[in-house]
């Protein structure tokens, strides 16, 4: 999809944002029916993930959660798309912060902040954090191949006093702001899947062997950054609430992997609270722990040879 594809998509999103709420979500319901019943988008992945994460669920419970997930997924896609045309007031109406005073507390101390979240609720609405706090908000992003869509996504994430940086540059930008004494809040998705050769740590997450990135922990220790988890809860269709949950105030005192484990457990707790709002179509458990052990043993054997 080149320029014409971008023009078509942009025009469709513009028309969608003009729809009254009931019509907009009626369209989302149709989109969900088409995605789930007709196309069956990643239905096998979603079902397998749910069955393995919730072995205690009956078949009926799995199917009910599955249907609710697809309905939320389509809400998420359309809500994120039309937020491109939101004003500051419109965004702040869609997501509220339960405890903004906690952000002010750390800002007054001049602390660098790392805000961890997951693919849960509508994480894209966390751009509102640049409006409800005095922090300079920053987030990592993966550049898109299509330059028109790439510019659109970056503009969407930067329109509310936030800045973005490619994933490979985010640590450098954080260090730069820290040295310049600019209080910065950087948002990380804590449930990203590392590439196989990047795996350094495994844990149990939703009852399954799961590899985790250690970037949050390493940067927190290097910058003495406070770590918070941003719990995004869906209140009703189109409306969310974010709660800042303290994870670590003094990273220098934390044991190895303690910070990583802590923010992972908060995410797990949130998912179990209402499973349908996590991104179950994400291939989170693509890597095998057994294969990892075998390859690690093979590397050690070759090293001895």
Q: Is the pLDDT of residue 1 over 60?
A: no
Question: What pLDDT, in 10s, does the model give residues 100-130?
Answer: 999 999 999 999 999 999 999 999 999 999 9
Tally the domains of the chain: 1
Q: Is the pLDDT of residue 14 over 70?
A: yes
Q: Is residue 305 part of a domain?
A: no
Q: Is residue 265 part of a domain?
A: yes
Report percent pLDDT > 90 for the chain: 87
Q: Is residue 304 part of a domain?
A: no
Distance of alpha carbon 249 from alpha carbon 235, whole angstroms: 29
3-state secondary structure of 226: strand
Q: Is residue 234 part of a domain?
A: yes
Q: Is residue 301 part of a domain?
A: no
3-class secondary structure for 256-279?
CCHHHHHHHHHHHHHHHHCHHHEC
Extract the tokens encoding 47: 């079902």
Q: Is residue 303 part of a domain?
A: no
Q: Is residue 122 part of a domain?
A: yes
pTM exceeds 0.85 for this model: yes
Average pLDDT value for the chain: 94
Q: Is residue 299 part of a domain?
A: no
Give the residue from 14, 16, 121 showing the smallest Cα distance to 76.
121
Residues 6+ apart with CB under 8 A from 218: none
Show the domain range for 272. Answer: 3-293
């Amino acid at each position: 999809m080149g320029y014409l594809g971008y023009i078509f998509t942009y025009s469709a999103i513009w028309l969608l944002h003009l729809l009254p709420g009931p019509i907009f979500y009626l369209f989302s319901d149709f989109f969900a029916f088409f995605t789930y019943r007709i196309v069956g988008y990643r239905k096998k992945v979603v079902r397998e993930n749910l069955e393995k994460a919730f072995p205690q669920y009956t078949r009926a419970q799995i199917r009910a959660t599955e249907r609710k997930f697809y309905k939320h997924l389509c809400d998420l896609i359309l809500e994120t798309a039309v937020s491109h045309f939101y004003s500051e007031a419109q965004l702040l109406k869609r997501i509220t912060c339960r405890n903004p005073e906690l952000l002010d507390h750390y800002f007054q101390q001049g602390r660098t902040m790392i805000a961890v979240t997951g693919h849960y609720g509508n994480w894209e609405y966390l751009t509102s954090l640049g409006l409800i706090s005095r922090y300079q908000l920053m987030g990592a992003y993966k550049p898109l191949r299509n330059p028109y869509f790439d510019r659109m996504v970056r503009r969407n994430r930067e329109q509310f006093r936030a800045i973005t940086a490619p994933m490979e540059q985010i640590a450098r930008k954080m260090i730069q702001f820290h040295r310049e004494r600019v209080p910065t809040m950087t948002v990380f998705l804590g449930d990203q899947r590392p590439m196989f050769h990047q795996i350094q740590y495994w844990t149990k997450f939703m009852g399954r062997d799961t590899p985790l990135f250690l970037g949050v922990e390493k940067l927190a220790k290097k910058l003495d950054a406070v770590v918070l988890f941003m719990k995004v809860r869906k209140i009703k269709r189109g409306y969310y609430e974010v709660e800042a949950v303290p994870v670590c105030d003094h990273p220098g005192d934390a044991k190895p992997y303690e910070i990583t484990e802590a923010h992972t457990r908060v995410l797990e707790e949130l998912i179990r609270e209402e499973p349908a709002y996590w991104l179950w179509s994400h291939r989170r458990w693509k890597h095998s722990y057994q294969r990892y052990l075998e390859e690690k043993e093979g590397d050690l054997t070759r090293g001895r040879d």
